[in-house]
Chain A
């Protein structure tokens, strides 16, 4: 399997489903869909309520609802939201670029060339997947302190590369495997260097695979909580979204309305992009995993 779509083999209707079973099937799926959607819907409803109304003793869909929370969040009255967005975008983009570039060359080499150590390399990528952040958090903190990068976004980008690069390499290897080797050979016959083949022929063909990998690397960095909480400096404007939004959740008082509005602002673009790429993402993930 690979990042190309799995052909849909429809199972033919086995007779006609009885009316009762059909109702049960749809009822189950409707309930499941409600459970899947409700938390998001509830945050959306809450995002229009003032903080005090978000936790009212009776449930109401609308309660003094307005766009005030969104105004407060965007204008920076409640936490430095725009700075968090900028930080998250910067960190996630840098991670993505570095991870995809590094993993493309390696993924290609591992996919095409049988060289001593290639299997061990692949295996080590798998093992790194298993690393809990707890193993690396102290030494990475130490490395960043030594380099003077502790508390900076560059430091965090380096840290995220430790998880993204092995995973992206694995996924891209799976994708390169699906590109026929004949293409490489004819490129070589036409006088291209090994690197030329990779750069001019294979990379353009692998564009869908690269896109999925990039998306994955981006999302991983975008939503990471533990390293971001531990390694970014305490000042409000240096936080990422995942850390910044915690500002709304104080020990004794939670600004639910503002938190909800900020959450919706973060979730909407994520959901939109996700919707566009989800079918590729699934098969790509399954591919990398199944091949191992």
Chain B
């Protein structure tokens, strides 16, 4: 131990600040957050030095978990919200990846105005997400929004996009895909460009069809980039807050409620500042993600072993 300290003291010294920051601002809060899920902490029982009020919450055991996991609607209908979160995540990631890959493939060939297309297609990434959310909320306006006016002009129906129906979920998926495609596209474009061109030439000499070239060269060549961006995409979308909150808010719409927005609702909105339930949701979200990431990595490793 002492020898290790002597040998590595400068490494430890350089790492120390970050370890301290992480310990104080992530680890300690995490432990405390888990503890809060076992209590009945809320706005009136949390310690508040400004009001000179000590903490008065008490230990309640697993009550919060039982309440939430019972799926009761007064605790956010956990199971149906989880299902909606999964539908939301899956549809967003599949669409974003599909469109991103399609555009990357198109952009990866020599043609006129390639650089111009690239810049135009990146634009949604450059706009801050809260601005994009407002822009789409404006365009989805049921009476005067430009989307419905265009639909009306070509003789189609003019649905109420952001009402209390599942159409609102479709709307936020559209927004999130619009926001997310540029990142996917560019990451995949980088991946495509790292595939050696002579592989394609050799395949062509051997008489491979375009589809075969795509399946046997492009997709395997993209594997490492794909697996990373898909994992990132899933985690980001699962936790995506601003798009849903700003497009359908400020009054929460139960048809677009995902786990994260409900936790925030519980923490923040008006009468029900129930910090204990908000924390419980947080811990459950984290558990779902950790379990998922573990399986994902294992599946990837198995896939690599076969390849």
CB of B286 within 8 A of CB of A56, answer: no
The reply to whether the CB of A124 lies closer than 8 angstroms to some CB of chain B is yes
CB of B25 within 8 A of CB of A161, answer: yes
How many Å from the CB of A69 to the closest CB on chain B? 14
How many Å from the CB of A187 to the closest CB on chain B? 13
Specify which chain B residues have a CB less than 8 angstroms from the CB of A201 in the assembled complex.
none
Beyond A118-B15, A267-B131, A274-B126, 17 additional contacts (C-beta under 8 Å) are A25-B109, A29-B103, A29-B106, A59-B150, A105-B17, A106-B18, A132-B282, A134-B278, A137-B267, A137-B278, A138-B41, A142-B29, A165-B21, A225-B245, A226-B245, A226-B264, A246-B246
Bound-state CA distance A161–B153 (Å) is 49
| One of B66-74, B89-97, B135-143 at the interface | B135-143
The reply to whether the CB of B295 lies closer than 8 angstroms to some CB of chain A is no
Contact with B along A228-253 (1 / 0, CB 8 A): 01100000000001100110010100
Nearest first, the 9 closest Cβ-Cβ pairs linking A and B are A139-B29, A134-B263, A135-B282, A274-B126, A134-B282, A55-B144, A113-B11, A109-B14, A33-B120
Bound-state CA distance A32–B189 (Å) is 16
The reply to whether the CB of B190 lies closer than 8 angstroms to some CB of chain A is yes
The reply to whether the CB of A189 lies closer than 8 angstroms to some CB of chain B is no
Bound-state CA distance A133–B279 (Å) is 10
How many Å from the CB of A137 to the closest CB on chain B? 6
Contact with B along A215-230 (1 / 0, CB 8 A): 0000100110110011
CB of A166 within 8 A of CB of B22, answer: yes
Bound-state CA distance A282–B125 (Å) is 11
CB of A130 within 8 A of CB of B190, answer: no
Choose among B28, B150, B186, B196 the residue that contacts A282 (Cβ–Cβ < 8 A).
Answer: B186
How many Å from the CB of A143 to the closest CB on chain B? 6
CB of A131 within 8 A of CB of B127, answer: no
How many Å from the CB of B178 to the closest CB on chain A? 7
Residues of B within 8 A of A (CB): 4, 7-8, 10-15, 17-19, 21-22, 25-26, 28-30, 32-33, 36, 41, 46-50, 103, 106-113, 117, 119-132, 134-139, 141, 143-144, 146, 149-150, 153, 178, 181-183, 186-187, 189-191, 193-197, 200-201, 204, 224-225, 228-229, 232, 235, 238-239, 241-242, 245-246, 250-251, 259-260, 263-264, 267-268, 275, 278-279, 281-283, 285-286, 289-290, 293
Specify which chain A residues have a CB less than 8 angstroms from the CB of B49 in the assembled complex.
145-146, 148
CB of B26 within 8 A of CB of A249, answer: no
CB of A12 within 8 A of CB of B15, answer: no
Bound-state CA distance A115–B6 (Å) is 11
The reply to whether the CB of A178 lies closer than 8 angstroms to some CB of chain B is no
Specify which chain B residues have a CB less than 8 angstroms from the CB of A183 in the assembled complex.
none
Given A124-B22, A225-B246, A260-B138, residue A58 in contact with residue B149 (CB < 8 A): yes
CB of A39 within 8 A of CB of B190, answer: no
Given A55-B141, A135-B279, A137-B282, residue A161 in contact with residue B21 (CB < 8 A): yes
